[in-house]
Amino acid sequence: MVTAALLGVLVAVAGLPLGWYGGLACAALQAGCPATAPPTGSLPRMTRLTAVQVALSGSYAGLGDSYSSGEGVYAPAGQGGEDGRTGGKPDPGRLPAGEGAAPCHRALGSYVPLVAGAHRFGGGTGFWACSGATTGQLLRGQHGQRPQVARVDRSTSLVTVTIGGNDAGFARVLTACIVKLPWSSACVDQDAEVARRVDGLRSSLLGVLRELRSRAPQARIIVLGYPRPFPARPADRVDNLGVEDQLWLNRVTRRLNDVMREVAAGFDRAVAAFGGPGSVEFVDAYDAFDGHEAGTAQPYLNRLVVHVEELTVDSRSFHPTGAGYRRFAELVDHQIVTGPGRPLNNFVLSRP
């Protein structure tokens, strides 16, 4: 206030014009300064990406177990191959991407290469699924290879994964059902132990999703369920499996899928609640092979194959055929387009 009074006295004494006083006050007091000119141009605009744009904006990583690796159409070395199998001495240029393809039984006929070929991903595709993988091995690695989750990074925009069947011990369960005596209840007698393992999947699957999310915070993560292996109303025995055995195995598959759905849906609700980008989406494949289950005229699952001389069960048994993997690819393609059923919080800045 003293400075202002002094300025006023100087103006009065010196007879300076008031305009000059205003300029002096602006410089000395930062008061009375004229308004600055409005800024030119416009601010950048935030545009919300569509589900398809999010999925295709970066790279695609195909992870998971034998249902993703292509076990059902994989041919061991020396047996040649068809329907997109690797094996024999294939053209190296046609092999699935990534080291460890042979021990992981990755095959071109899996849904992962089919999805990759149907879309243009901005960052390319990585095919890392491995037969026999559990949730723990997804995090730790198999066959001396880097963990599958380590193949995912901030540039990843789409992840697909089938996982959980090996945690539930489904291969051992099915084997026990097949080798039992025809009149034995050994198959359904496994129910309590299988239920315990399936329930344990909740925490381990959640751990996988957290790791994927931390590595690829912008990505859409699509978790695929497993198809019902036998008809909803079986009419006859299939590979030593009676009607009750088949119905029980169907129920086990439904239970496994329900747990996967609950974990994925809960995780996605948390992402949406905090306004985070990306998503976790569950694709229910339980009825995907309806009319084409094991034991039907045109199955999408391989039936039991036994190597009599070696007394071993072929690993392709009860895994998808080429048609089954094509059906899986259709489910993923549809999900890429439809999205999680909510707006995604992925944005880009653009200038008008």
Does residue 72 contact residue 108 with C-beta atoms inside 8 Å?
no
219-243 per-residue burial string, b: 16 or more CB within 10 A, e: under 16: bbbbbbbbbbbbbeebeeebbebbe
Does residue 142 contact residue 129 with C-beta atoms inside 8 Å?
no
Instruction: From 168, 155, 352, 193, select the one nearest 256 (Cα to Cα).
Output: 168
With DSSP H G I counted as helix, E B as strand and the rest as coil, what are the percentages for the chain, rounded to 5? 40, 10, 45
Dihedral sign, Cα of residue 137, residue 140, residue 146, residue 148 = positive
Distance CA 105, CA 70 (A): 7
Does residue 288 contact residue 331 with C-beta atoms inside 8 Å?
yes
Contacts of 185 (CB under 8 A, 6+ apart): none
Give catalytic status of residue 66 as yes or no. Answer: yes
Dihedral sign, Cα of residue 192, residue 301, residue 293, residue 176 = negative
Give catalytic status of residue 334 as yes or no. Answer: no
Catalytic pick among 66, 110, 157, 317: 66
Distance CA 296, CA 181 (A): 23
Catalytic pick among 57, 157, 315, 319: 319
Active site residues: 66, 319
